[in-house]
Each structure stands twice: as structure tokens, then as C-alpha cells.
Amino acid sequence: MSTAYAELESRWAEILDLQHGQSILGWDQEVMMPPGGANLRAHTLATLAGVIHGRVSDKGLAKLVEQLHGRRATLRPAERRAVDLVRREVRKATSIPARLATDIALAESECVESWRVARAAKSWTGFKKDLARMVALKREVAGLRAGKGPLYDALLDDFEPGATMAGIDPLLDALKELTVPLLQRVVAAKRKVPLRPFVGRFAVDAQRAFSRSVVTAMGIDLERARLDLSTHPFCGGVAPGDVRMTSRFDERDTRGGLFGAIHEAGHGLYEQGLDPKRARSPLGGAISMAIHESQSRLWENNVARGRAFWKHWLPRMKKAHPQLKDVTLDEVFAASNVMGPSMIRVESDELTYNLHIVLRYEIERDLIEGRIEASDLRDRWNEGMRALLGIVPKHDGEGVLQDIHWASGLFGYFPTYSLGNLYAAQFMEAARKAIGDLDARLAKGDLATLREWLRKNVHRHDQTVDAATLVKKVTGKPLSVDAFARHITAKVDAIYG
């Protein structure tokens, strides 16, 4: 290993250390911090972000990385990839003048505040101007980074390295073409699926214990993780040895608590499956948001909303909640997969979820590319909802104001959710092929075989490969909607057939 490369690794290790600190402080803020700590914590996180930005945009580091990049032919392949990954971050950090970075940080706070007020008032009007400013700033950032490529691609890259509009457009178009007719079938079937397996009165302690037993069976290692409660469930994994997952339980509806815990545990298994030896290396960590999301969705939708899963777990759920003693496998399977149009993305089902994403993707792409303006947003939203889902929001609170992403400046994030769904289905098909009796195993409560397959085939690579390489390696094919189409069509057939 050259001295220059060793220096790169050691500088980057310290940057990762500070990011780890940032993650834990962010987790603490959501899960542990008393309200009185909010003000000081905001300062601490801002100062720490400044320190990290200073380190990533440090001139010495930039020089080092360009020097190594200049002689990349002499590096070993893993070193070459590490140099490319670091260079990408360094270039991103140095492309933005300090003035613009400060403007964006300020605009984010202001825009989120204005969004909160507007959402509470259920009216888009007061939010328009702040959002327009945010979009202008984001376009400016994208312009500095994009080179000759499209502006939107430069923003995508923050969440999904290597992804482009040119790649995503056909995938999301195909997803739309698949979903709209399936939704029409669901609506036409007029079947009202009984929800009694999940809706009623359920002791929160019993819910918590049951979901804990599921995630433990999935293989979450509690010597290297915590399960806590928070208003918005999330997985704040920072490294294989310290993963923080949260849930929320509702006495009247167990779905959010159970499927939420399984979803976050899918993220958690990915983090725990990363190679601990790479925890402080540029090659360590998750590949992308979509690959991360594929792991949570796979466990939530492809496993835990499946019939085989419930063969084993329904009797156990009945022990936790004795009032369910008469519930059948068909009932719990159907209730896990109720489909139909709804207003709120985070409450939507596996089928319509992707339509919510298509709506947001098309809008934000067109916004950043300058095809529409921020002031058009609400109308575009409501038209899109009618066209895709056949319903129109009664007010902006359940419409264009429902998500925090745009107010926070997160443009390019939404599509990773649907890409995650597609990856999940494609990985699951590959797993089913590799493990001949996977469903029989799931039906016996064996979640370990699948987990180990994912660990070996997906998790353990860390960032040594990119998402496109990974999916070809694991499934033999580039990402497409095919596997998801088979998966979701089978569910629609079974329940709304």
C-alpha cells in the first residue's frame, strides 16, 4: 500500500468517525433527548456538520485524492474503487462555495418551518415562496455539479450513486403501466378485506414482545443493536456493531408496529451484515439508498406479507393476542395485503405505493429540469393523484404538503423507494431460485437461511461494487420491473382475483 493511499484511508477513517458521532447524536435527538436539549443539540449538529464538511473539502485531501486518481492504473482494484468513492465525495463538497452551503442550510430551516405552518393550516399558499427559493438553490447546486449532464442527475447522485433520469424514466414508466391497470382490477373487484387480524384492541406490551420475537428470529443481534420507541420509526445504523432501530405501537392497529419493526429490522440486518473490518474504510457502508430500501422492503413485503411467513407466525401472534384465536391463514394473508387508492404515501399499500412515488418523481424531476415551476406544484399534484390513483386530496395537508422531503431540500430521494421495491423483488426471486425450498423454510419459521443468503450475496460487499453491478452479480440481470410485476400480480390475483 502506498503512503499516499494509506494517508487517504486514515483521513477518511476520521471523517467516518465523526459521521458516526453525528448518527448517534441524531438518534439521541429523536429517541432520548429531553425537550430542553433541542436548542443546544441543533448547534452541536451544525458545528459537527461544519467540521465534517471542512475535513471533506480540505485542500490537502483534494490534492491527495487527485494525485491518487492520476495514477489509478497503478493501484489495486479495491484501492482504485476507494479512491473513486472518496473523490466523488470530495468533488461534491468542494463544488459548492461556502456562501451557497450556508444559504442552503438556512433555507432548509426556514422552508421546513414554513412547511410545518402550511401543513398545519392545510394550505399550500404560504409555503410556495419558500419552496421556490429552495428549488432555485437546488438548481444552482445541481448546475455546479452536473457538468454537461442533466441537473436532476446531479441531485440523484446524492442518494443513488450512478443513477440517472435516463435509467429511471423507463423503470418508473413501466411501473406505472403495470400498476394502474392492476389498481383498476382491485377497485373493480369491490372486495372488502376484513381487517380483524390487525385492527381492534391489542395490548401494546404484547405487540412489542411479538415484534421483538420476529426481528430476533430474522437474526437481529441485540449485542450489536438496540430496539427503541420513537414517533417516526427509523433505523439509525452506524456500523455493523451498533445499529439503532425504532418502532411505534398503536393499541388499535398492529400493522404499523409489526410491519414497521420488520421493515427497520431489514435495514438493520443490512447494517449488521456489512463487513466490520471495513467499518472505518472508504469501501465500508451501504451501496445506496435503493439497495438499503430493498432490504427493508424485502423483509416487510416479500417475506412478512407472504403466506409462507404467516404459516409459522400466525399461531404465535394468536398466543400474543388470544382474541385472534379464530383467525385463518387466508384472513391474515389478505389483511396483510389490503390494496386500494389512498391519499397518504406512508400509509399506502405495496401496490399503490409506487404510484405515490411516480407522482413525486415526475414532479421533482420536471421542477429541477425547469419544465415546471414551484408555483405549479399543487395543481400538478392534484392532477397526478386523479390520473394515477383516481382520487383528489380534500386539502393540501393530505396532498402536496404531506411529505417533509422537498421542504428539507431532498430532491432525488423519492425514486429510491420504488427502486428499492424493484431490487427487493428481483433479489427475492434470485433467493428463491438459489434456495430451492425457501417457502417451505419460511413456513417452518426458518428465516436464517434467507438472511444468510442475503448477507453473503448482498450485505457483505459493502461498497466494493455499485448497485448496477450488484444486481447483475446477484440476479444475472439488470434491474427491471419483471420480478416485481410477477410478485404483485400474484398477490392481486390471490386476493382480488
CA distances from 24 to 1, 13, 232, 281, 405 (A): 32, 17, 16, 19, 21
| Closest to a copy of itself by CB, 277 or 371 | 277
Q: Is 436 exposed, middle or buried (0-12, 13-18, 19+ CB in 10 A)?
A: exposed
Tell me how far apart the 2 most distant CA atoms of the chain are, in Å. Answer: 69
Answer whether 218's CB lies under 8 Å from 299's CB: yes
Which residues ranging from 393 to 412 are in contact with a copy of itself (CB under 8 A)?
none
Cα 220 from Cα 24, distance rounded (Å): 19
SS3 412: coil
Site for a copy of itself contains 280 (CB under 8 A): yes
264 counts as catalytic: yes
Give min distance, CB of 258 to a copy of itself, in A.
Answer: 23
The C-alpha atoms of residue 450 and residue 336 are separated, in whole angstroms, by 21
Q: Judged by CB under 8 A, does residue 105 bind a copy of itself?
A: no
Among 77, 223, 322, 326, binds a copy of itself (CB under 8 A): 223
17 part of the interface to a copy of itself, by CB under 8 A: yes
Q: Which of 161, 240, 268, 415 binds a copy of itself (CB under 8 A)?
A: 240
User: How far apart, in whole angstroms, are the C-alpha atoms of residue 197 and residue 27?
Assistant: 32
Q: Please, what is the minimum distance in Å from the beta carbon of residue 244 to a copy of itself?
A: 9
User: Is 32 a residue that touches a copy of itself (CB under 8 A)?
Assistant: yes
Residue 271 binds a copy of itself (CB under 8 A): no
Cα 457–chain centre separation: 20
Residue 226 β-bridge partners: 244
State the minimum distance, in angstroms, from the CB of residue 45 to a copy of itself.
Answer: 8
Of residues 315 through 354, those in contact with a copy of itself by CB under 8 A are none
71's CB contacts (< 8 A; 6+ apart) are none
The smaller minimum CB distance to a copy of itself, of residues 170 and 276, is found at 276
Nearest to a copy of itself of 43, 201 (CB atom): 43
- By the 10 Å C-beta count (0-12 exposed, 13-18 middle, 19+ buried), 427 is classed as buried
Nearer to a copy of itself, 240 or 282 (CB): 240
Contacts of 80 (CB under 8 A, 6+ apart): 72
Among residues 110, 140, 223, 264, which one is catalytic? 264
Residue range at the interface with a copy of itself (CB under 8 A); choices 42-50, 100-108, 325-333, 416-424: 42-50
Closest CA to 212 of 184, 247, 255, 180: 247
Selected from 1, 2, 6, 14, the binder of a copy of itself by CB under 8 A is 14
Q: Return the residue of 79, 160, 242, 362 that touches a copy of itself, per CB under 8 A.
A: 242
**Could you list the residues that contact a copy of itself (CB under 8 A)?**
13-14, 17-18, 20-21, 24-25, 28, 32-41, 43-44, 46-48, 50-51, 221-226, 238-243, 279-280
Catalytic residues: 264
